[in-house]
Chain A
Amino acid sequence: MRSTSRHILGSVKEMIQACIQCGTCTGSCPNAFAMDHTPRHLWQMVLNDRTRDVLTSKTFILCSSCYYCTLRCPRGLPLTDVMGSLTRLARTENPTGFKKSHLFYGQFLQSIRRHGRVNESELMTLFFLEMKNPLLPLQYAGLGLKFLQKNKISLPFVEKEGSHGLEKIFEKVREMENQA
């Protein structure tokens, strides 16, 4: 954790200020069973400025964006978006936590940056390399082989005809975010 300042959660706090702790979000969440803090509990922690506990919690990384909580929240709060905001915060404030998810999403964006469109086999190859776990690829080997047999995935690092990267766009976004 880089910092435990209470300001970090400021923007997120604003988004859930009106939470009444009813727990509809938790009752609707398909992933609550695997979380260390239920969504309702996480909102309470945010509102109480428990920055460190919030950003080391597994809760937001387990959100699969099903939008049940957002749909059902009686206060109409954008709870799925809040999970996204917390994921982004954790990426900068707690970079060593959630290594697998951060690496996967990072590689995903690199693939878009390089090719404009995602090259699925390249994404998985680089993800496995970065994870440095020789057993990990085995979990997906069967599926990858099936896709190859059906000629459904292209070879990694081969540029598709007519595709191009989005270098300038990514650079401009970075520039604007640094200014903000």
Chain B
Amino acid sequence: MKYFYYPGCSLEGTAKEYNLSTVSLMKALGTDLIEIEDWTCCGASAAHAVSELLSYVLPTRTLALAEKMSRERKEKLDILVPCSACYLNLKKVSHDISSAPGLLEKINAVLEIEGLVFENRLAVRHLLDILTRDIDIHDVLNRIQVPFKNFSIAPYYGCQCLRPFPVFDNPEKPESMEPFIRAAGASVHSWEMGGRCCGASHMTTKPEVGRMLVAKILTRAKWADMILTVCPMCQMNLEGFQKGISRASHEKMDITILYLPQFIGMAMGLPENQTRTDLNLCITPGFYDKYQAALKQLSDGITRSA
């Protein structure tokens, strides 16, 4: 299987490990990712706050570049996007041009100055969508090497991979991550916070509100061993402010937060230079010990059976 790949800005910076672990996992699962050449920012949540036309032009520029590659390579591939905000911005273009007459022409009139044209030919898909619908879960199951037995794991989906477009999961009661958690031998932490909002950029512009939303999520994950995410914004909000939130609420709220492909990679026995858990901001000592114990049990088992 092959996909065009759009990492997006965060995955070059604060979410490096999401990029590297996605690439490693997809490779291990026999999938080729072809990065879109010369891609640029999707506009994030900033463009639509300033200019409507720009909020369409920015993601479309990258889509047009992917179509150009598709023509040159004579391959029609889906576009894989790991960041939920990028995914929605890219996906929204093809949705909105169908209901807004003249919008496509306007966008193309801007892109023309770079010699680009957008024809709405390629499908935009979230990483979780591709893992869920294109990858055979039995294939993952067969490759599990490190069982996460006795781990309770909270799947956190956030908003924009689920809403407003219900594509691969139920936007009110998401469950697409659960098969991967169970495949790794762990149990799914039961909670209703999976699809709730982390506050997105409130942490910068309205920190007092952002902290409230994050605190609600962390509180409800208290009895879990870790939270899994599929979005760099969610990841940063959940892992970056734990100390401050714990201090303010007089309650210890530290918990390990990993990206889904890091976790699946760990369970499949990929080395740390591929899962890049060295780059995460909060892997708790408790989690680390439990994981080391699982590894030790595994190597003991191998030695005994040898």
A interface with B by C-beta (< 8 Å): 30-31, 33-34, 61-62, 64-68, 70-71, 80, 84-85, 87-88, 91, 100-102, 104-106, 108-109, 112, 116-121, 127, 139-140, 142-143, 146-147, 150, 152-154, 160, 162, 166, 168-170, 172-173, 176-177
Contact B110 A173 (CB under 8 A): yes
User: How many angstroms from the CA of A172 to the CA of B200 in the assembled complex?
Assistant: 30
Contact of A117 among B12, B49, B160, B202 (CB under 8 A): B12
Contact, CB under 8 Å: A177 / B113: no
Q: Could you show 11 A-B contacts with beta carbons less than 8 Å apart?
A: A30-B197, A31-B197, A33-B212, A34-B209, A80-B164, A84-B55, A118-B9, A121-B13, A169-B57, A173-B54, A177-B53
Q: What 1/0 mask marks residues of chain B from 139 to 165 whose CB sits below 8 Å from any chain A CB?
A: 000000000000000000001100110
* Cα of A61 to Cα of B210 in the assembled complex, Å: 13
Would you call A177 and B51 a contact (CB within 8 A)? yes
Interfacial chain B residues near A33, Cβ < 8 Å: 212
Residues of B within 8 A of A154 (CB): 13
Interface SS majority for chain A: helix
Q: Quick one: which of A67, A68, A88, A168 contacts B49, CB cutoff 8 A? A: A88
Partner of A116, one of B10, B40, B55: B40
Q: With A112-B43, A152-B13 given, is the CB distance from A68 to B200 under 8 Å?
A: no
Q: Are A146 and B49 in contact (CB under 8 A)?
A: no
Interchain CB contact under 8 A, B14 and A117: no
Q: Knowing A88-B49, A176-B109 touch, does A65 contact B159 (C-beta < 8 A)?
A: yes
Is A105 in contact with B164, judged by CB distance below 8 angstroms?
no
The reply to whether A176 and B9 form a contact with Cβ atoms under 8 Å apart is no
Q: Say whether B160 contacts A173, CB under 8 Å.
A: no
What is the chain A residue whose CB lies nearest that of B202?
Answer: A64
Interface string of B58-81 (1 = CB under 8 A from A): 100100000000000000000000
Set of chain B residues within 8 Å of A105, measured between Cβ atoms: 45-46, 49-50
Contacts of B111 in A (CB 8 A): 169
Determine if A34 and B197 form an interchain contact, defined as CB atoms under 8 angstroms apart. Answer: no
Query: What total count of A-B pairs have CB within 8 Å?
Result: 159
Set of chain A residues within 8 Å of B50, measured between Cβ atoms = 88, 91, 105-106, 109
Q: Which residue of B lies closest to A103 (CB)?
A: B205
- 19 other A-B residue contacts (CB within 8 Å) besides A100-B206, A120-B13: A34-B206, A64-B201, A64-B213, A65-B45, A66-B163, A84-B52, A84-B55, A88-B50, A104-B46, A105-B49, A118-B9, A127-B204, A147-B13, A152-B13, A152-B16, A168-B114, A169-B111, A176-B53, A177-B51
Residue on B with the closest CB to A104?
A: B205
| B241 contacts across to A, CB distance below 8 A | 143
- Complex Cα gap A66–B234 (Å): 12
Q: Is the CB of B46 within 8 A of A84?
A: no
Task: Tell me, yes or no, whether B47 is within 8 Å of chain A by CB.
Answer: yes
Q: Which residues of the partner chain B approach A117 to less than 8 Å between Cβ atoms? A: 9, 12, 40-41
Q: Given A30-B213, A105-B50, A116-B40, verify A150-B58 contact (CB < 8 Å).
A: no
Q: Which of B183-242 contact A (CB under 8 A)?
A: 196-197, 199-202, 204-209, 212-213, 240-241
Q: Tell me which residues across on chain A come within 8 A of B55, comparing CB atoms.
A: 84
Contacting residues, chain B, for A120 (C-beta < 8 A)? 9-10, 13-14
| CB <8 Å contact, B14 and A153 | yes
